[in-house]
Amino acid sequence: EAQVTQNPRYLITVTGKKLTVTCSQNMNHEYMSWYRQDPGLGLRQIYYSMNVEVTDKGDVPEGYKVSRKEKRNFPLILESPSPNQTSLYFCASSPLNIYEQYFGPGTRLTVT
């Protein structure tokens, strides 16, 4: 089944404790992206990648890192999480023309 998977789905952590949210897709898509969704602010792009070893900043990259060492994986790293990073995070992938982005199920992160 074609899908984008994210882990974990829910995470409660404390300020400053490094964490990684994994994202994996099995559709051989070139394009992968991370978004955060907050009430009243909609979906905002954090980082995106057009292919292996190619990443670019989106609208809100501060406090986040990504890597794209393999085509299928695009982990999101929070080196020192802060409460303002409490949010719902979505990973998405698509062919390079972004005709249709497939979204993962979301990761709800709470930083206390």
Partner 1 sequence: EDKVVQSPLSLVVHEGDTVTLNCSYEVTNFRSLLWYKQEKKAPTFLFMLTSSGIEKKSGRLSSILDKKELFSILNITATQTGDSAIYLCAVENSGYALNFGKGTSLLVTP
**CB 57 to partner 1: min, Å:** 9
Q: Which residues bind partner 1 (CB under 8 A)?
A: 31, 33, 35, 40-45, 48, 50, 56, 58-59, 90, 96, 98-106
Q: Which is nearer to partner 1, 60 or 111 (CB)?
A: 60
Cα 17–18–21 angle (5° rounding)?
125
Cα 59 to Cα 88: distance, rounded to the nearest angstrom: 16
Give Cα 8 to chain centroid, integer Å: 12
Considering the complex, state which of residue 92 and residue 111 has its C-beta at the smaller distance from partner 1.
92
Least gap, CB of 35 to partner 1 (angstroms): 8
d(C-alpha 50, C-alpha 82), whole Å: 28
